[in-house]
Amino acid sequence: MKIITVGLDERSYNIHIGCGLLDGLGADCNRIGLKGTAAVITNPVVGALYLPLVKDSLERAGYDVRVIELPDGEEFKNAATLDLIYDAMITEGLDRGAFIVALGGGVIGDMAGFAAATFLRGIPFVQVPTTLLAQVDSSVGGKTGINHRLGKNLIGAFYQPKLVLADLDTLDTLAEREYLCGIAEILKYGACLDRSLFDYISEKSGDLKARDKVALEHIVGESCTIKGSVVERDEHEGGLRAVLNYGHTIGHAVETLAGYGKIKHGEAVAIGMAQIAGLSFLKGLLTSDDRNLIVKLIREFGLPTELPVFPIDAYLEIISHDKKKRDGGVNFIFNHGIGGFKIEKIIDLRTLLSDCVNQL
Ligand code: NAD
Ligand code: GLY
């Protein structure tokens, strides 16, 4: 098992990564001093697979366990579903002595984390991420929240968990498309922050496609270390943390234009990364060989790289409203070599998008 610490003074916590960890969840919660009732928040898909193990582990460690089951899907990541959590917590008589366990992917983790941040002005919570994407990204760093009808993740809070327990065995049951979306987020860390991780993914692509646990423990561990160190330096996204949005500005536009769910988040990010690699080449920040390496590695995992055909004005409309917009421009994260990045504010979005359309 790997243990990685995210150092944020009194809000520091450990990330446990390995196989067979769910069985020890209760004991781990004891070790970090969590007391009282454990409210496990999950959905029917994940609950059917892993709730018995989680419940048993918590009960063996002496916790009174309550289960709150939410409907599965991004379309339920909203205020109405959040209200279901509050309703259950209040009617079950839970108080500040309770803590939340988020058992599921990023949707459950973001919602359960936001409920923990806001219920009675904040109770502790533990992340038990069960998708690859959640293990390498959403469970780490304390971004919690829900969608609003006018946009994704617009309501939320920075609220760190007390523990993240990433059991790699849970990835065995994950659908292939979801698994590959997680790989896209790992490629993100390699492409703009860590050349050695990029090379490792390249060398071990066969093992990773086969979900080999040794390779997975390595890349999940490296991803969490990289994300943790970015969060330690810029918890509230004053600057540096924006690098984690590499590929996401174009990706988000693709996701929105295609209609949520048609192209999954990780697939859209893969397209965004390939486009940014091409733009970085045009800017002289990446050699053509390195651009080709990035695009080839994305394709190696069967992830898409081509920008879907929508009117350029539709792309412009979405990108110009992006959350990352500052002072009339939108901040883009470009490659500076593989494993390096450069943040640049782009004012002339039309030219940038035309360059995307004309490349590859
Ligand atoms: P998800 O939570 O919707 O999970 C994907 C699907 O896999 C769901 O149907 C889920 O029930 C199922 N599933 C989960 N674990 C499983 C398992 N072990 N076996 C079988 N099926 C399983 O999607 P996701 O990709 O994990 O997360 C996406 C969400 O994460 C988005 O809402 C996004 O905004 C958010 N996110 C947040 C951050 C952050 O920093 N907080 C970062 C990235 C993404
Ligand atoms: N997923 C981006 C972030 O946590 O900042």
Could you identify the atom of ligand 2 that is nearest to the CA of residue 140?
4
Tell me, what's the pLDDT at 359?
A: 66
Residues with active-site annotation: 121, 143, 185, 227, 237, 241, 245, 248, 252, 265
Q: How confident is the model at residue 158 (pLDDT cuts 50, 70, 90)?
A: very high
Cα–Cα nearest to 205, from 179, 183, 172, 182: 183
CB-based pocket (< 6 A), ligand 2: 137, 141, 143, 241, 244
- Which is it for strands 37-42 and 64-69: parallel, antiparallel or unpaired? parallel
**Spans of all domains in the chain:** 2-173, 177-356
Q: What is the pLDDT of residues 22-35, one digit of tens each?
A: 999 999 999 999 99
108 touches 43 (CB < 8 A): yes
Can you tell me the mean pLDDT for 240-265? Answer: 91
Burial class (CB in 10 A: 0-12, 13-18, 19+), 203: exposed
- Please determine whether the domains at 2-173 and 177-356 fall in the same fold group of CATH: no
Q: What is the side-by-side strand order in the sheet with 341-346?
A: 325-326, 329-335, 341-346
Question: pTM for the full model?
Answer: 0.96
Indicate whether 340 pLDDT > 60.
Answer: yes
> Where does 177-356 sit in CATH, by number?
1.20.1090.10
Tell me, what's the pLDDT at 206?
A: 98
What is the chain's mean pLDDT, rounded? 95
178 C-beta closer than 6 A to ligand 1: yes
- What kind of fold does domain 2-173 have according to CATH? Rossmann fold (3.40.50)
